[in-house]
Chain A
């Protein structure tokens, strides 16, 4: 497990930064667009094939795994879209779409002449699929029977699962108990199999209510309730 899995409740961080912009540099828009296109063109989606050369899977899970796999100090060093740029360019190199050398050479060209135009062209079906992905989404709900072990009002304990590189379990909830607020109808898969961490296959998801005073005894504010959406693999029956 990494520090970035355990952000909730860290102390001594100082004031927040109230930056209401979505992008603080123009270049950030471009990496966002590339990431979204990769998700849209990823071949596991039930969308019409296109002439795009993109033939490997890319989902949110891949982006998140990259950020969660970073050295924690690098995670905090780099701004949000800097992490995206590092993860995505690394992916295209690792999967053989481009080489490090050509990316470096081309970067040097654009560093010397930032206004040098981009190449033009490409099949319109690619952009049609990108728009269709955004409009239709990619629901994780799966048409399989969900057999929830818990009902609304039941107390559950969060398991301390062996997480490796990626998880959807907020670390500060591990080993704490809460009350099931909602059993979401149906079963939900996750974009990738997180291995011993336990999510991937379709399973029920619970909204679980925690009292902040139980999570951080003597070190929180009064009258605060925290709700988290937890895959069934992350919760168990209390032992007591």
Chain B
């Protein structure tokens, strides 16, 4: 077992050199351009990211009718927000659904087979979401996992675990924290983390 899990000391340097070699060859052979990889990365810095999800959640907090529409038909409700970047129904967001936390219900999104994640509204998945240990344990003992994230969910609260195994990409509308009355949507959006929108945390308090 120990041998099988041995990695060379220059593990990262080797991977870095290999991926750069691959990128260089693909540019030379005309598969991609010298700007392609940066073009992709730029989309995830400016257009697709958790900054969108945070604004959608903040809107749901201040507008209960919008929240209802978001739960009933997430793509249609998100399309109402015309000030979001283009592509909110784009790659990995073609069929999104939102589930709302509330009195007696806590939602947790997982992907036991891989790392399905709603790109347009949340960007790319953090490492904890992709970790096989999280993916295994969250299915059978979600409260124990949430406790390791610092979140205690009482037994009286139903934990709903959503395993993203087909076309739907799920996200969670966390509860609005107490003491945030009178805050603007921008201020509220700053309280919403990717972790809260996957259900391993709650929104930050004001």
Question: Which residues in A have some Cβ–Cβ distance to B below 8 Å?
Answer: 4-5, 7-11, 13-22, 24-27, 29-34, 36-37, 39, 41, 51-54, 60, 64, 67, 73, 75-77, 80, 82, 85, 88-89, 92, 97-98, 102-103, 106-111, 114, 118-124, 126-127, 130-131, 133-141, 167-170, 172, 184, 188, 205, 207, 212, 215-216, 219-231
Contacts A110-B17, A119-B24, A126-B33 given; indicate if A216 touches B90 (C-beta within 8 A). Answer: no
Question: Separation in Å of the A14 CB from the closest CB of chain B?
Answer: 7
When the two chains form their complex, are residues A16 and B38 in contact, meaning their CB atoms are under 8 A apart?
no
Q: How large is the interface on B (under 10, 10 to 19, 20 to 34, 35 or more residues)?
A: 35 or more
Q: Using CB atoms, name the residue of chain B closest to A74.
A: B4
CB neighbours of B95 from chain A (8 A): 139-141, 184
Question: Separation in Å of the A66 CB from the closest CB of chain B?
Answer: 11
CB neighbours of B144 from chain A (8 A): 221
Chain A interface, DSSP helix/strand/loop, else mixed: mixed
When the two chains form their complex, are residues B113 and A231 in contact, meaning their CB atoms are under 8 A apart?
no
Question: Which residues in B have some Cβ–Cβ distance to A below 8 Å?
Answer: 4-5, 7, 10, 12-41, 43, 47-48, 86-87, 89-95, 112-115, 123-128, 130-137, 139-145, 148-149, 155-168, 194-195
Q: Which of B4, B47, B165 has the most CB of A within 10 A?
A: B165
CA distance in complex: A27, B23 (Å): 11
Q: Using CB atoms, name the residue of chain A closest to B154.
A: A223
Question: Separation in Å of the B77 CB from the closest CB of chain A?
Answer: 16
Q: Which of B4, B10, B32, B168 has the most CB of A within 10 A?
A: B32
When the two chains form their complex, are residues B137 and A127 in contact, meaning their CB atoms are under 8 A apart?
no
Q: Which of B12, B22, B93, B168 has the most CB of A within 10 A?
A: B22
Question: Separation in Å of the B19 CB from the closest CB of chain A?
Answer: 5
CB neighbours of B10 from chain A (8 A): 111
CB neighbours of B5 from chain A (8 A): 73, 77
CB neighbours of A11 from chain B (8 A): 140
Q: Using CB atoms, name the residue of chain B closest to A168.
A: B165
When the two chains form their complex, are residues A34 and B21 in contact, meaning their CB atoms are under 8 A apart?
no
CB neighbours of A13 from chain B (8 A): 132-133, 136-137
When the two chains form their complex, are residues B36 and A27 in contact, meaning their CB atoms are under 8 A apart?
no
From B41, B48, B158, B167, A29 is in contact (CB under 8 Å) with B41
Contacts A80-B130, A135-B90 given; indicate if A5 touches B20 (C-beta within 8 A). Answer: no
From B155, B163, B195, A223 is in contact (CB under 8 Å) with B155
From A10, A31, A102, B25 is in contact (CB under 8 Å) with A102
Contacts A17-B133, A27-B20, A225-B160 given; indicate if A51 touches B39 (C-beta within 8 A). Answer: no
Contacts A17-B127, A27-B15, A138-B94 given; indicate if A205 touches B162 (C-beta within 8 A). Answer: no
CA distance in complex: A19, B19 (Å): 23
Given A19-B126, A21-B126, A36-B40, 14 additional A-B pairs, CB 8 A? A4-B132, A5-B113, A22-B123, A25-B16, A31-B19, A33-B37, A34-B36, A80-B115, A120-B34, A122-B32, A140-B95, A205-B166, A219-B140, A221-B155
When the two chains form their complex, are residues B37 and A30 in contact, meaning their CB atoms are under 8 A apart?
yes
